[in-house]
Amino acid sequence: MRIILLRHGQSLGNVDELAYCRIPDHALPLTETGEEQAVSTGATIKALVGDGPVAAYVSPYRRTRRTFELLDIDAERVVHEPRLREQDWGNLQDPTEQEVLKHQRHAFGHFFFRLPNGESGADVDDRLAAFLDGLEARLLKDDAHPKTVLIVSHGLTIRLLCRRLFDWSIELFESLSNPDTCEHRVLDHDGTGWRLDRPFDQWQDSPDGTTQLPPDTPSRIRFP
C-alpha cells in the first residue's frame, strides 16, 4: 500500500497575507507560479503512482482542487474530502487581530491553541483520525479500492496526518516545518508498518528529545 501526500501549489495567500481579509480561505486561488508548480509536479506524481489504479482524496479548497486538476492524474476515484481541509482560522480575517493571534499561538503552542471562531491543531488532528480510520477500512476491506492513494492537502494537515500515523509527540510535531508548496512525501506500507520516504524539515530539536523515524524504520501504527 502507498499513500502519496502532496501540498497544493503556491496560492495567493502564500504571497499576500492580506488576501485572507477579503477572500475566504477556501476560495483562495493558485498564483501563476502555483499553477506552474502543479503542472511540473504532475510527472513526478505520475511516476510515484505507477501503472496501477489510484484513489485521490482532495481537500475541497479551490487551491487544492486546482492543483489536483493540473497534475493530470487519471484517478479511479476522486473524493473531495472536507476532513483534509486547512486549519480553520475563522471566516474573513482582520489583519491586526491575526497578527496578535499568531504571536499568542506561537507562545501557547500551535497544537493546542484554538483560534477564535476557528480550530486548534488538536481539532484538525481529531478529524484526521476519523479520516484515517475510514481510509484504513477501505484499503483493507474493499477489494475494489486502489492500494495507491494520493492525498492533496495543506501543510499543517499533512504534518498532522503523519503525526497520527507515526504517533509523534506534540513537541516533535511543533518542531517540524510544513512541506513547501507542491512538495510531497511518500508513505509505503509493507505489512508491518508505514515508512516515510524522507523526514520533514525541522526548525528546532524537539524539547522532549524525540525524533522522526528514519526511512527504514516502520511506524508503530500498523494496519493489520
Please say if 174 is a catalytic residue: no
Please say if 26 is a catalytic residue: no
Q: If you search the block for the grid coordinates 507560479, which residue do you land on?
A: 33
CA 77/CA 179 separation, integer angstroms: 25
C-alpha cell, 131: 479520516
CA 8/CA 14 separation, integer angstroms: 11
Question: Which residue in 8, 154, 184, 189 is the catalytic one?
Answer: 8
Q: Of 60, 11, 13, which is closest to residue 36 (Cα–Cα)?
A: 11
Residue 134 labelled as part of a binding site = no
Residue 9 labelled as part of a binding site = yes
Residue 10 labelled as part of a binding site = yes
Residue 71 labelled as part of a binding site = no
Residue 204 labelled as part of a binding site = no
Residue 12 labelled as part of a binding site = yes
Question: Which residue in 32, 36, 81, 86 is the catalytic one?
Answer: 86
Are the C-beta atoms of 206 and 193 separated by less than 8 Å? no
Cα angle 85, 35, 185 (rounded to 5 degrees) comes to 55
String of DSSP letters for 154-217 = -HHHHHHHHHHHHT--HHHHHHBPPPPTT-EEEEEE-SS-EEESSPPPBSS--TT---PPPTTS
List binding-site positions for substrate.
7-14, 63
List binding-site positions.
7-14, 63
Active site residue ranges: 8, 86
